Amino acid sequence: MASQFSRRDFLPAGLKANQVELVGNTVRIHSRSAKATAACPRCGTASRHVHSRYRRRPADLPAHGRKVKLVLLVRRFRCRAPRCPAKIFAERFPPDVTRPHARRTSRLQGLVRHLGLALGGRPAQALAARLLLPVSKDTFLRSIRDTAEASSSDLRVIGIDDWAWRKGQRYGTLICDLERRRVIDLLPDREPATVEAWLQARPGIEVVARDRNGGYGGAVSRALPKAVQVADRWHLLENASAAFLAAVQRNMPAIRKAIGAKTLDPKLLTAAEKLQYEGYLRRQQTNRMVRQMADDGVPIRRIVRQTELSRQLVRQILRGEREDVFRIRESSLTPWLPRLEQEWAGGCRNGAELWRRLRADGFQGSLRVVGE
């Protein structure tokens, strides 16, 4: 059974609507507090002696495709307490209505904060424009910073990662409170000793989310042996994505043959792929010329003499081994992959240590190749 609604039902609790008007695309709701008295914020004495009135216009949640603004009639009261320093004070609305000096209602401010936490500044501003929320990107970021900070003794779940003061030259360590989604400290470097000293001063930390950097892992193990170390969602997705792309790139020739893909749209290629595609077109001209000569009965020795190509290359063309659009270079690590898998299964998970062990057996590649 349908129930009856009054204008008060559409307002935050504690307000009383006097008038509702439509001005352009904005709904203005003239309202005031439903209480006849107000408590002094200094001494807490209740007063009903009105001194004067003024209006506040906080923004509220949109309704029916229109922006909504509250026109709050705010009363100033006289405080009758003899020793109270506040002779005149403005009434305070309940926290679920609005805060002092706020330009938005509490329910709109809560939505702004959640959008800022989920999307950041510019993406949240773009979405807010479609939701008819008059909020800028700076306001979204400011709403996140204005949340109450927890003291360092209250930290329980943190995230650690490195960041660049100057990319490729100087790096620091970023530490976040993952429960409150706040940056709590920036360390000047990413040395394990610096992180270990910071963690030892905060023994209440229970969970540390980090990347696969062995230095951070060792610092956490020494400073907080009882803390649980986990991989955060971003690094899990990044590592899984990198492994998937590497596997696909290594097997692209076999994949193209399996699915029978013979056409490409140059508009969908990246800049690096376009360079490879242009080289493929040049190779195709050479391949057609060599195959045409072979179909005409020209011996391989004469084809090599006339085209000035190597005998091995001519044989590859005739066997159809030069038809790949994107050719993947073999990594210097490829012959060592079985040994690398063996070391990894044996418990060695540090890139630098794996590189040193391979170097001792004759590996000529760089540390970067092994680390990646």
The total domain count for the chain is 4
Mean pLDDT calculated for residue range 216-244: 87
The domain spanning residue 198 has which CATH number?
Answer: 3.30.420.10
Full residue range of the structural domain in which residue 292 is found: 252-318
Highest mean pLDDT among 10-24, 147-161, 181-195: 181-195
Structural domain includes residue 242:
no
Beta strands across the sheet bearing 157-166: 182-187, 170-177, 157-166, 207-210, 228-231
Q: How many CA atoms lie within 13 A of 266 on its CB side?
A: 8
Structural domain includes residue 123:
no
Structural domain includes residue 70:
yes
| Domain final residue pick, 69, 88, 103 | 103
pLDDT at 339 over 60: yes
Structural domain includes residue 245:
no
- In terms of Cα–Cα distance, which of 264, 369, 240, 241 is closest to 324? 264
> pTM (2 decimals)?
0.42
What is the spatial distance between Cα 305 and Cα 324, in angstroms, rounded to a whole number? 25
pLDDT, tens digit (0-9, with 9 covering 90-100), for 242-297 = 888 878 767 766 766 676 555 666 766 666 677 777 777 788 888 888 888 888 88
Could you tell me if 216 and 256 lie in one domain?
no
Mean pLDDT calculated for residue range 17-35: 85
Could you tell me if 28 and 97 lie in one domain?
yes
Secondary structure of residue 139 in the 3-state scheme: helix
Q: What is the DSSP string of 316-328?
A: HHHTT-S--SSPP
Written in H, E and C, the secondary structure of 223-238 is: HCCCCEEEECHHHHHH
Could you tell me if 35 and 93 lie in one domain?
yes
What's at 239, amino acid-wise? N
As given in the structure block, the two tokens for residue 195 are: 């992180």
Structural domain includes residue 122:
no
- In terms of Cα–Cα distance, which of 52, 36, 33, 48 is closest to 80? 48
Could you tell me if 312 and 363 lie in one domain?
no
| Domain final residue pick, 45, 68, 103 | 103
Structural domain includes residue 223:
yes
Structural domain includes residue 133:
no
Could you tell me if 306 and 281 lie in one domain?
yes
Instruction: Give the mean pLDDT of the chain.
Output: 81
Query: How many other C-beta atoms can be found within 10 angstroms of the C-beta atom of residue 275?
Result: 11
| Domain final residue pick, 318, 345, 360 | 318
Structural domain includes residue 327:
no
For residues 352 and 267, the model is more confident at 352
